[in-house]
Structure formats: structure tokens, C-alpha cells
Amino acid sequence: MINNLVIEVLLENLRTANSSRVKELCLGIMGNLVCHESLVAAISLKKGLIATVVEQLFLDDVKCLSETFRLLAAILRSSAYVSWAQALLPDEILSRILRIVGKTDNATLLEKIIDFLSTIIDNRDVIAMLIQPLLKLGLVDRIIGLLTTELERSPDEKLDRSGSLDLVLHFMEELSAIHCVSKAMTSNDRLIKVLVNMIKSPDKVEVASYCASVVIVISNILTDGKHLVPKISRDLPFLEGLLEVLPEVPDDDQARYALWSILARILAQVQATELNSSSLDRFASLFSGKFGLIKDDLENQVVDEEKLTPEDALLKGWISRCVSFKTIYTSCPSWKSRS
């Protein structure tokens, strides 16, 4: 196909065709071709091709946009990623991408956009080029908008788009693992409120698959946002919800470590704070009432002391802090009076 000038034909059709269907087919064929690494260089060197493909981001046709993002994701995974990433750098291009992120209501297009953005994150050189411009143009706000939009959908809509919320949350996990993004997230009160409310929601067990992502994002944010710990440590419904998540993540090591890390930060804050007797009673009562969940978690996770990994050692430290907390507060006078 390449030897028979298919790229020239596709490129000319992209430039001149008035039909969205023709453009969609041209972009789809190109997307398939760039999946072959041996062809990528020849395709990318075609004069005017990169600029023409990037121009397709300004189309309003959902199917054309889906194929454009699929093509861009594939090319950014290839050896030709540098010239394509550079073509995406202008603010008008990145702003257009973020506008599409913020307004798309199509599940397929959402999937292609997030795959494209995840591909950017996965490539160290590409993320180094694009992450700061994306942050400056409002990446965090756009992703929070996606999250809240999915949460606010009616039950029937959520059923039809069952994978969309999961997709958004997994992408937020990826983002929150990047230091500069996590730092930006710590100053976004809207995001913190949304995540905390998800943990406090009585319906969270019904969407257990989301709980792991939420606790991982919160844990990553708290790593760079230690100033947030005092506030959430006073939120007893949040702590109760957090403890209720424990049975939902027994086989997900990353989520389990994240959850224990949040608990450890909260308990360290509480132990360092002078609480009045009423607050202390409420806190101790909640913790003691949910201690069965902690006990079950410990019994289900047997660690070989001779093969203790750094993560296991850290987890052991977090658990020790929790156990110490219970020992201290169940022996205090105000607790005994309630017992």
C-alpha cells in the first residue's frame, strides 16, 4: 500500500474531502498503517502529513475525532513520536484537545482521548514536553469535570456507560503519580471534595471496583499535600468510609498500601492533636467499632517475615501505628467511661 502511493491518496482526501465519512476512513487507514513500526518513518516524513492530521482535531465529527486520537496514540507509541509531539505543542492545539476532553459525551471518543493522554504519560520524553503546557491550560480542571460529569449521571446512563467512570478514575491514578500533577491537585478543593465524598458515599460498596482507584489517588495527593491531612483527619464520616473500603481491596496490593498510608497519616495527625473529650470519644468509638474490619484484613494478609519486601515493611509500620492508636485510646479514661 505504501509503495502504491496510498499515503498520498489519503493525505489528499483529508485535505480536500467534504465528507466526514471519507475523512474518518482515511484517518482509520492511517491509524492502522502506523501500527507497523517499519512503516512509521516513511509515513511521518511525508511532507505536510503531520500538520494535516493535527488539523483534524478541529473537526466536530465524533467518529473523525475518535480516529484522529487513535492515530495519534499509535504514533506516539512508535519511534517517530518526537516530531508528532512537537506538532502538538502549540497552545491552540493543546487547548483544543482539552476542550474536547471537557465537552465529549460520547463513550467511544472518551475512551480514545484517555488512551491518547495515557500514551503521553507513558512516554517519558513526550510527558516532559507536554505536561507543563497541559497543566497551564487546565488539564486538572478538565479531568475533574469529566469525573463529576460521570458521577452526576442518572442510574440508567451510568449503566449504559459502566466503563466510563472506571476509565476516568484509572487515568486520574496515572496523573496523580506524576509529582507536578499531584502537586497541582493538592490545591484543587473541588477535587478533594469529590474524592472524599466518594469514600463517604453509602453506595461505594456497590461500585467497589472504583474504590481502589479513589484511595490510590487520595494517597498520591496526600504525599504532596500534607496540609490537607488535618482537615480530613477531623472528618469522621470519611474515616468510617475509608475503613469500610478495606474489605473491598484485599487482593489489590497497591490500593491496600494506599489505604493504610492514608490511615497512618490521619492517625499520626490525631495523635499529635489535643482533642477534647467529646471528639476523642467519637473518634475512639468509631475506630473501635470498625476494628473488626482491620482485624480481618490483617488475618487475610499473612506476611513472611523472612521475605519482607520494602512495601511489606512499610505496611507493617502503618498497621503498628493503627494498633498503637487503638491501645492508647481504648485505655484512656473517657473511653473507659463509655465502655
Q: Nearest to residue 56, comparing CAs of 46, 47, 42, 66?
A: 66
pLDDT in tens, 148-197: 988 888 777 776 677 888 899 999 999 999 999 999 999 888 899 999 99
Determine the average pLDDT of the residues in 94-118.
Answer: 93
Torsion angle in degrees (nearest 10) through CA of 160, 199, 134, 55: 0
Task: Round to whole Å and give the CA distance between 54 and 87.
Answer: 7
Q: What percent of the chain has pLDDT over 90?
A: 47
Determine the average pLDDT of the residues in 102-116.
Answer: 92
Is residue 39 within 8 A of residue 71, CB to CB? The reply is no
The whole-model pTM stands at 0.83
Indicate whether 329 pLDDT > 60.
no
Compare 304 and 112 and report the one with higher pLDDT. Answer: 112
Which pLDDT belongs to residue 156?
A: 75
Which pLDDT belongs to residue 236?
A: 87
pLDDT in tens, 271-280: 777 766 777 7
Residue type, 68: T
Question: With bands split at pLDDT 50, 70 and 90, how would you rate the model's confidence at 281?
Answer: confident
Mean pLDDT value across the chain: 84
Indicate whether 12 pLDDT > 80.
yes
Question: Which residue stretches of 187-250 are H helix?
Answer: 189-200, 208-224, 229-233, 236-245
Task: Round to whole Å and give the CA distance between 209 and 320.
Answer: 27
- Least confidently predicted of 5-9, 39-43, 208-212, 244-248: 208-212
- Name the E strands within 24-114: none
Which pLDDT belongs to residue 298?
A: 67
Using the structure block, give the residue that is written with the C-alpha cell 517499519.
38
pLDDT in tens, 203-229: 765 566 688 899 999 999 998 898 999
Is residue 232 within 8 A of residue 238, CB to CB? The reply is yes
Indicate whether 129 pLDDT > 70.
yes
Q: What percent of the chain has pLDDT over 70?
A: 83
pLDDT in tens, 34-46: 998 888 888 898 9
C-alpha cell at 289: 467499632
Indicate whether 320 pLDDT > 80.
no
Is residue 176 within 8 A of residue 224, CB to CB? The reply is no
Which pLDDT belongs to residue 273?
A: 74
Determine the average pLDDT of the residues in 306-331.
Answer: 52
pLDDT in tens, 51-73: 999 999 999 999 999 999 999 99
Which pLDDT belongs to residue 336?
A: 41
Torsion angle in degrees (nearest 10) through CA of 214, 215, 218, 220: -110
Indicate whether 331 pLDDT > 70.
no
- The answer to whether the Cα torsion of 246, 254, 316, 196 is positive or negative is negative
Is residue 169 within 8 A of residue 212, CB to CB? The reply is no
Is residue 215 within 8 A of residue 242, CB to CB? The reply is yes
Residues 6+ apart with CB under 8 A from 296: 246, 247
Compare 90 and 154 and report the one with higher pLDDT. Answer: 90
Determine the average pLDDT of the residues in 231-255.
Answer: 85
Domains of the chain: 1-137 (1.25.10.10)
Question: With bands split at pLDDT 50, 70 and 90, how would you rate the model's confidence at 339?
Answer: very low
Which pLDDT belongs to residue 289?
A: 73
